[in-house]
Amino acid sequence: MNISESEKMNKNIPILLFSIFYCMIFVFDLPARANGDVFPEIPPSVLPVVKIDYDDGQDPMNSRLFRTTTTRTQINLGGFWDFVTDPDSIGESKSFYTRFPEPETQLWVPGTWNAVPRYWQYQNSAWYNRSFDVPADGNLRIRFGGVFYTTKVWLDGKSVGENEGAYSPFSFLVRDVKKGKHTITVWVNNCLYDDSLPKKGVDWFPFGGIYRPVYAELVKNIYIDRFHILPTAISENQANLSVRIYVKNLTGKTIDKKFRFYVNGNLMYSGSHTVAAKDAVIEFTTVLQQPKLWSPDDPNLYSARVVLGTDEDDQVDRFGVRSLIKDGYKIMLNRSRFKLMGANHHDDHPDWGSALPPHIIRQDIEIFKRMGANAVRGHYPPAEMFMDFCDAYGLMFMNEVPSWQYRPDQLANPVVKGKIKKQYWDMVYRDMNHPAIFSWSLGNEWREFQKAYNDIKELVEYARTIDRTHFITFITGGAHFDKSAELIDIICTNWAQYQWYWDPSFSDEDSNGEFVSTVLDKNIGEESIRQLNMIHEKMPDKPVVLTEFGGSGSMAGWHNWGNVKWSEEYQARNVWDSGMYGLEQEWLSGGCVWQFCDTRTTHSRMLGPRLRGWNVKGVVDSYRLPKLAFYKLQELFHRYKNPDVQN
């Protein structure tokens, strides 16, 4: 080696050492980067493919997560329908149901016209029309999963019925329909009123249309409308199953019929029962040995099938075995303390409106699970498939009648009260079998509800006549309560530690000319906590759930130092502090963040605290992309669930 070569090498030594050092940093730092703790990455799916021992197969009607009948001939009415709007309400006088006009377009069903740019803001009447083949003579049951909001239906130009209400299935039975081609015409109107459910001006968008699955099926003169399974006396060894079957008997006579009941394909009961004419209820009990319990961490499900006669008719559903009770202020799920860690979910997506297709529902559930949630709350019964997903993947659901922010005079109105009762009945009738059901709520944030004690009492008493096996509640806005809280099983309150709304004039002064803070205010936070604590001081033996916590709007992508309003930081801080309070206080039973994703809201809220007409309090944005609050909530939920694991 000559001198110049060794000089060259000496010069290279620092470069070499630096390269080795750099490689080591890279190698050792890599796992930290890859695990997503440092930089959020797209994580793998957390949903297993199936979680049920016995599979009934896919539902050809795309309405549920499993096939609901093996005996009935069904016709899926999903697909393109001819569509016209009717802003001047001339359709009925011009008999659109016999002479459908030249369609403006064809719309996809299930769907909402308000997700189509041309009809984005349309709130009025519209008509749908299509034909379909009936493969045999028989009684045709036409079943709508949900239409928003008022509906009239004609088959071959003849009226078959009407419906008011958006969130429950309804059906019409047309007897002795002939094999061959038939035409169905549907009129829908999505206007809301002072006495509709929800009322006009509600804080979510009145997406109009046939937005949930619709199908027709052939039924015999006696058929099963629905059945409920109630697991009781649950122990490690066994659970009693009380079965109640709702039967429709069109024969006009009382008849004896055999009923069989299967669980996961095994015959559990067989017996003959007298079926009264018209509407009959059949009841029996049976025993399930060594039940596998359902819980959000271990969502074991059973398949149940009821068969009428010699395979004349059947219905399939799923159920789970779990006990949910209160013990003083504690909520116990399968005898262990349970605190809710969830989010409020609206059926809402920029591309689909309220008509969430199955893959979007699955994706939402996936995000809930990834967030570490064990619960969901809705302002109304969601799509049936959403409930199936909650059962299958382990999310408790707080269900609700959409009587949102009614005033005392509205609650006293017998028309409104009648609609609340009907929606309550429909909700329980449809969702009773879901182990995911946590509670039934009669309504949300009734204004000055202290003045409506007698009406609330009447509603709660009605609710108790329908089902005594789930928690019954109504939800208050802010940590207010009064003696009506004694009527219900659990106290539910919408609460945020820091106030997000301020003087609606949007000046930085309130109506008294005082400066209004646009950053998180510690004093407000302390006052909110004081008010919340008073609930427990006055009613120490009642469970308290924060049905909506941490609600604050944030403009996705807008960041700011110092927790300034509309920033992701402001929202994340409010979500974190409010959620943490709900989980860390011994007497509180957790809650659900307001809200899961940014959602479209009603026309009248286009101005005011709604950015471009959207309620942007989502922890993910409208397309489900995470905001800072999502990560903070995820951290909070994981930390609470695994207190020993450092996040």
Given a contact cutoff of 8 angstroms between Cβ atoms, the answer to whether 451 and 408 are in contact is yes
CA distance linking residue 284 with residue 268, whole number of Å: 11
Q: 3-class secondary structure for 344-394?
A: ECCCCCCCCCCCCCHHHHHHHHHHHHHHCCCEEECCCCCCHHHHHHHHHHC
Query: Which residue is nearest to ligand ADA, using beta carbons?
Result: 203
Give phi and psi for 385, each to the nearest 5: -70, -30
Q: Is 633 helix (H, G, I), strand (E, B) or coil?
A: helix
CB of 258 to ligand ADA, least distance (A): 48
CB of 133 to ligand ADA, least distance (A): 43
599: contact with ligand ADA by CB under 6 A: no
By CB under 6 A, the residues from 131 to 170 that bind ligand ADA are none
CA distance linking residue 598 with residue 618, whole number of Å: 4
CB of 166 to ligand ADA, least distance (A): 15
The one-letter amino acid code at 374 reads N
Q: Which two tokens stand for residue 622?
A: 């409208």
- Residues 318, 420, 427: CA angle, nearest 5 degrees: 5
473: contact with ligand ADA by CB under 6 A: no
Nearer Cβ to ligand ADA (228/617)? 617
CB of 125 to ligand ADA, least distance (A): 27
CA distance linking residue 385 with residue 356, whole number of Å: 10
Give phi and psi for 85, each to the nearest 5: -85, 160
Sign of the Cα torsion 618, 619, 623, 624 reads: negative
- Select from 134, 106, 90 the least CA-distant residue to 209: 106
476: contact with ligand ADA by CB under 6 A: no
CA distance linking residue 19 with residue 12, whole number of Å: 11
CB of 503 to ligand ADA, least distance (A): 15
By CB under 6 A, the residues from 245 to 274 that bind ligand ADA are none
494: contact with ligand ADA by CB under 6 A: yes
Nearer Cβ to ligand ADA (172/576)? 576
Cross-strand partners of 287: 240
CB of 441 to ligand ADA, least distance (A): 11
CB of 403 to ligand ADA, least distance (A): 11
Residue where the block lists tokens 């309090």: 617
Strand order in the sheet with 336-337: 324-327, 330-333, 336-337
In angstroms, the Cα distances linking 251 to 119, 154, 260 are 45, 24, 21
By CB under 6 A, the residues from 358 to 397 that bind ligand ADA are 379
Contact letters (x/-) for ligand ADA, 299-338, by CB under 6 A?
----------------------------------------
CB of 505 to ligand ADA, least distance (A): 17
Residue among 56, 59, 391, 548 that touches ligand ADA (CB under 6 A) = 548
By CB under 6 A, the residues from 100 to 129 that bind ligand ADA are none
Q: Which two tokens stand for residue 558?
A: 């807008």
CA distance linking residue 620 with residue 554, whole number of Å: 10
CB of 565 to ligand ADA, least distance (A): 14
Bridge-based pairing of strands 599-600 and 336-337 is: unpaired
Given a contact cutoff of 8 angstroms between Cβ atoms, the answer to whether 126 and 148 are in contact is no
602: contact with ligand ADA by CB under 6 A: no
Nearer Cβ to ligand ADA (203/317)? 203
CB of 609 to ligand ADA, least distance (A): 8
Nearer Cβ to ligand ADA (180/608)? 608
CB of 549 to ligand ADA, least distance (A): 10
Nearer Cβ to ligand ADA (108/596)? 596
Q: Which two tokens stand for residue 269?
A: 């009961």
Q: How many residues form the binding site for ligand ADA (CB under 6 A)?
A: 11
Residue among 563, 615, 622, 634 that touches ligand ADA (CB under 6 A) = 615
Nearer Cβ to ligand ADA (69/615)? 615
CB of 501 to ligand ADA, least distance (A): 7
579: contact with ligand ADA by CB under 6 A: no
CA distance linking residue 151 with residue 185, whole number of Å: 10
By CB under 6 A, the residues from 423 to 462 that bind ligand ADA are 444-445
CB of 397 to ligand ADA, least distance (A): 16
* Largest Cα–Cα separation, the chain: 115
By CB under 6 A, the residues from 189 to 228 that bind ligand ADA are 203
Residue among 419, 617, 627, 632 that touches ligand ADA (CB under 6 A) = 617
In angstroms, the Cα distances linking 188 to 113, 253, 603 are 11, 36, 19
Nearer Cβ to ligand ADA (346/470)? 346
Residue among 594, 614, 631, 637 that touches ligand ADA (CB under 6 A) = 594
Nearer Cβ to ligand ADA (96/614)? 614
CA distance linking residue 95 with residue 93, whole number of Å: 5
CB of 404 to ligand ADA, least distance (A): 6
Nearer Cβ to ligand ADA (123/552)? 552
List all residues 6 or more positions away from 454 whose beta carbon is below 8 Å from its beta carbon.
none
182: contact with ligand ADA by CB under 6 A: no
The one-letter amino acid code at 208 reads G
CA 404 to chain centre: 15
Which residues of this chain interact with ligand ADA, rule CB under 6 A?
Answer: 203, 379, 444-445, 477, 494, 548, 551, 594, 615, 617
